Amino acid sequence: MKVLLIDDHPLILAALQAVIEGLENVVEVATAASAAAARELLAARSDIGLVLLDLHLGDADGFALLAELRHAYPALPVVVVSASDRASDVIRAIDQGAMGFVPKRASTEVLIEALKLVMSGGIYVPALSLGSEVAPRESGGAGAVGAAARAEGFQSVPEAIESLSLTPRQTDVLALLLQGKPNKLIARELGVSVETVKDHVAAVMKALGVNSRTQAVLAVSQMTQRGGPDMHFSAWRGR
């Protein structure tokens, strides 16, 4: 995999590059110190498989660039790496299509686990003090939320998720919802109608006590963290 780092701080770029070059399956790390440089590089290369984006760039607003990247390269996962760890920024980034949000204060180990999770198709968000921004049924813990994209065969599911008493199909829908897939793609993958998917999504959100997909991601984050950054939610098929 080839990774692009977008950050206007040379020391941060160098530190991130050193960490990411040590990851398995990463064959090249490119860097861009501005939004303009990032646009030029992405336009010239179609082999970038992951982007790490700082929200505070000298020549562009990070959220605006995130929206631009999600529109221009919808299949390209973007992870926000920011000095901010405000819940509102995390929610906004995930809402705009980011596959992860890693505060710059996080440890190298957390960053590595977050990137591994995203590269496997999951979504990473830090533990948050959400207040009234989201109302999960259960909160606490620290680290990552993972919705494994390759949920083949049996994988463990934390007790907090099991306590929601979701049906097997609702669990499948939750896994795909956390990957950011729209209802049409979920319906196609599961071989059901869009209306059926809508019903399952509504049931899942009711069980989580939330009213949006972003809140569902954050609620699962709060519910599944019990043992550090390597813990994540994994759905399973055919149970």
CATH 3.40.50.2300 in the chain is located at 2-119
Each residue of 186-214: pLDDT tens digit?
Answer: 999 999 999 999 999 999 999 888 888 77
Q: What mean pLDDT do residues 158-174 have?
A: 78
The two structure tokens encoding residue 60: 């562009």
- Any idea which residue has 């990411």 for tokens? 20
| Bridging pattern class, strands 78-82 and 2-6 | unpaired
Instruction: Tell me which of 1.10.1140.10, 3.30.559.10, 1.10.10.10, 1.10.10.410 is the CATH number of domain 133-224.
Output: 1.10.10.10
Each residue of 85-117: pLDDT tens digit?
Answer: 888 898 889 888 898 999 999 999 999 988 988
pLDDT at position 165 is 83
Half-sphere exposure of 22 (CA within 13 A, CB side): 10
pLDDT at position 5 is 96
The arrangement of secondary structure in 2-119, i.e. its CATH architecture, is 3-Layer(aba) Sandwich (3.40)
pLDDT band at 185 (very low <50, low <70, confident <90, very high): confident
Question: CB of 41 within 8 A of CB of 56?
Answer: no
Alpha-helix residue ranges (DSSP H) falling in the chain: 10-20, 35-44, 62-72, 87-95, 108-119, 159-162, 168-178, 183-190, 194-208, 213-224
Percentage of residues in the chain having pLDDT higher than 90: 45
Residues 6+ apart with CB under 8 A from 236: 151, 153, 154, 155, 157, 171
CATH 1.10.10.10 in the chain is located at 133-224
User: Could you give the dihedral angle defined by the CA atoms of residues 57, 63, 65 and 70, in that order, rounded to the nearest 10 degrees?
Assistant: 150
Query: H-helix or E-strand containing 51?
Result: strand 48-53
Each residue of 122-132: pLDDT tens digit?
Answer: 788 887 544 43
Q: How far apart are CA 119 and CA 224, in angstroms?
A: 20
- Tell me: pLDDT of 218 over 60: yes
